[in-house]
Amino acid sequence: MRIAFINPPHADWSLANNVTYLLIQSHYKHRGRYADQVEFIPAPYKWNQYESYDDVIAEIKSADVIMFSSYAWNYTIVDGIAKHIKSQYPEKILVLGGPHIGTNDPDLLRGRKYYDYICEPTKPGEPFMEDLIDCYIENRLDPKSIAWELRNGTGRIHDLSTEDYSIYEEHQDYLKESVDYARQNNMEPFIVIETTRGCPYKCVFCEWGGGINTKIYKKDIEIVKRDILAMKAAGYRDAYLTDANFGAFEDRDLEIFAFGWENGFNLTDISTMKSKDIKRRKRLIDRWFDIVGKDARAPKSGEGKGGLDMWGETEYVSVVPTVSIQSISEEAMKLADRVDLSTENKLELSRYINQRCKEHGFPIPALELILAMPGSTLEDFYNEMEIINNFKAWGSFRHDYMFLPDSRLNSADYKMLHNIETVEVYSDIVDEDGTDNWNSLYKNKKTYFHTIRSCNSFTHHEMHQMYFMNNAANYLLKNIYPIFDEIISPQGFTKECFCVIINLDGWEGIYTEIEDIFCPSTPPRSIRQLGGKFRVDTIEEFLEKNRPILISELFRRLA
């Protein structure tokens, strides 16, 4: 039995995240009944080179079973490859996994008939594939014998504490080959590490972490340390930490980070625990800074970086724990079933992290806010300007609210309850900063999704205003607010700015485009483009052009 795996990365200048495949291989090697009868074909990783589906298929066409991981950023490529394989090789068994399936989006799910089996988002992949492989070899492959769903209590969890091996040690040759290729081709040397799995929360916008609503399972700390050393030995400098609640096991989690740091290996994009205890959140940050000190290895801010040498840009990786604020509105957090700090404490924590980063010479971490959550208001949106100004993370914008197809947010019942109106939009399959991809397989690919247009707490006209100001506020706060910071708050200042902006030359054209983006009766448009280019560039050029009159009008209004 030959098995293959396809997981296109978010952009073709990045290595693919093939760690899930390595997890399944090691799991079956140690736990499977027929390990000696299974061959795992190396997963494709040369995405900077592939120019057609056939280029990808050529590497794995000897497989009997082909697994696909579907995400918001790659599902159109995944579905395109799968459909192409099925038309050429109808006898092959195609298996779909990942978080972007369509349990709450029937149209998406119905359009995926070329897959033979689907591992739903809340099913751990290891036991799912263990069942599928056993059934295949025993010639009793039936969906009912392998298809189960963890959330209903009938499925098997995968307890990481039972793993007594390092997948990175067991796949050292493949990892070294991959990262050497990334270095030679100036690609992003992307890899992930998972030290815990599961999440006790049930946030409505989450397809997996909150969807499971289970206890957290921990990998043995000594195995994690072996994982880190194995990745470093292969040639990696850092790994994306996928744990949903860093700091939930405070001493353990910090010991893991410290071990990596002391061995010259960074754990990045750290998502901190959800807790209402401001003292505990501050203590976590303090202890983290105790580990890193004022080290010369502090990453650079990334401002002014250019080009697409993703290997060279590893010095810009964020190792400061992110602050997952989502919204300043306590009502929005309540409707999202999100456990977190109070509004007052969020402001306090934002100021505190800013202070600690300055003391230690570290760039401010990414700020995790979501644009226009149900329950939030236009007033809440402007109140968040204080947090943005506290952080001064000028490259960090509120995320467009993606109604992910398998989240509770996307269910018909939830949308009806909160009078949510959505609109279909798309983004090109590129990184959020608008970076171009390199080759034709990725060019002109679009990721379609639904975003919010209005709900009980704000109108579609208010949504248009929030969309524009989300992309304008960083420029305004960074470049103009220092002139006025002693006489008005960040929220008051940005409100006044909007009142001036709507009368500036060029506003009408921008606003007409925004109206069209959020109009449900016109064809879907790119949510990340205005004026034919990246939206932030267009808006900042408009503001820079009108800067003298904007400042003059602000002086007149605020005098």
> By three-state DSSP, how is residue 464 classified?
helix
Q: Could you tell me which CATH class the domain 2-152 is placed in?
A: alpha beta
Q: Is 212 exposed, middle or buried (0-12, 13-18, 19+ CB in 10 A)?
A: buried
The mean pLDDT of 518-525, rounded to a whole number, is 96
3-class DSSP string for 402-416: CCCCCCHHHCHHHHH
- For residue 402, the Cα-to-chain-centroid distance in whole angstroms is 11
pLDDT in tens, 374-431: 999 999 999 999 989 988 878 778 999 999 888 889 999 999 999 999 999 998 654 4
528, 535 Cβ separation under 8 angstroms: yes
Q: Is the pLDDT of residue 6 over 90?
A: yes
Q: Is the pLDDT of residue 153 over 80?
A: no
In the prediction, which pLDDT does 242 show? 92
Query: Residue 427 pairs with which residues in a beta bridge?
Result: 447
pLDDT in tens, 339-367: 888 888 888 888 888 888 888 888 777 77
In the prediction, which pLDDT does 283 show? 94
Q: What is the spatial distance between Cα 272 and Cα 463, in angstroms, rounded to a whole number?
A: 29
Task: Give the strand pairing for 533-534 and 529-530.
Answer: antiparallel
Highest mean pLDDT among 7-16, 151-160, 295-304: 7-16
Q: Is 486 exposed, middle or buried (0-12, 13-18, 19+ CB in 10 A)?
A: exposed
Residue 298 confidence class, pLDDT cut points 50, 70, 90: confident
Q: Is the pLDDT of residue 306 over 70?
A: no
In the prediction, which pLDDT does 143 show? 63
The mean pLDDT of 247-254, rounded to a whole number, is 94
Q: What is the spatial distance between Cα 538 and Cα 543, in angstroms, rounded to a whole number?
A: 9
493, 543 Cβ separation under 8 angstroms: no
Q: Is the pLDDT of residue 318 over 60?
A: yes
Please, what is the average pLDDT of the chain? Answer: 89
Q: What is the spatial distance between Cα 556 and Cα 559, in angstroms, rounded to a whole number?
A: 5
Highest mean pLDDT among 31-40, 425-434, 446-455: 31-40
pTM for the structure as a whole = 0.90
In the prediction, which pLDDT does 483 show? 96
3-state DSSP helix/strand/coil % of the chain, to nearest 5: 45, 15, 45
164-168 contacts at long range (C-beta below 8 A, 24 or more positions apart): 164/220, 164/223, 165/26, 165/30, 165/223, 166/223, 166/226, 166/227, 166/230, 167/19, 167/22, 167/23, 167/25, 167/26, 167/227, 168/22, 168/226, 168/227, 168/230, 168/231, 168/234
Q: Which of 262-271, 418-427, 536-545 has the lowest mean pLDDT?
A: 262-271
pLDDT in tens, 33-77: 999 999 999 999 999 999 999 999 999 999 999 999 999 889 999
Which residue ranges make up each domain of the chain?
2-152, 272-558
In the prediction, which pLDDT does 148 show? 53
Q: Is the pLDDT of residue 276 over 90?
A: no
pLDDT in tens, 166-210: 999 999 999 999 999 999 998 989 999 999 988 888 889 887 644
> By three-state DSSP, how is residue 327 classified?
coil
Q: What is the spatial distance between Cα 172 and Cα 486, in angstroms, rounded to a whole number?
A: 57
State the virtual CA torsion across 541, 72, 82, 101 in degrees, nearest 10: -160
Question: What percentage of the chain exceeds 70 in pLDDT?
Answer: 92
Q: Is the pLDDT of residue 434 over 50?
A: no
Q: Is the pLDDT of residue 125 over 60?
A: yes
Task: Give the strand pairing for 196-197 and 217-218.
Answer: antiparallel
Q: Is the pLDDT of residue 477 over 80?
A: yes
pLDDT in tens, 75-88: 999 999 999 999 99
Which structure tokens are listed for 205?
């916008």
In the prediction, which pLDDT does 271 show? 84
Residue 304 confidence class, pLDDT cut points 50, 70, 90: very low
In the prediction, which pLDDT does 432 show? 43
> By three-state DSSP, how is residue 97 classified?
strand
Q: What is the spatial distance between Cα 378 and Cα 465, in angstroms, rounded to a whole number?
A: 9
In the prediction, which pLDDT does 431 show? 42
Q: Is 548 exposed, middle or buried (0-12, 13-18, 19+ CB in 10 A)?
A: exposed
In the prediction, which pLDDT does 429 show? 52
The mean pLDDT of 520-526, rounded to a whole number, is 95
Q: What is the spatial distance between Cα 527 and Cα 525, in angstroms, rounded to a whole number?
A: 6
149, 155 Cβ separation under 8 angstroms: yes
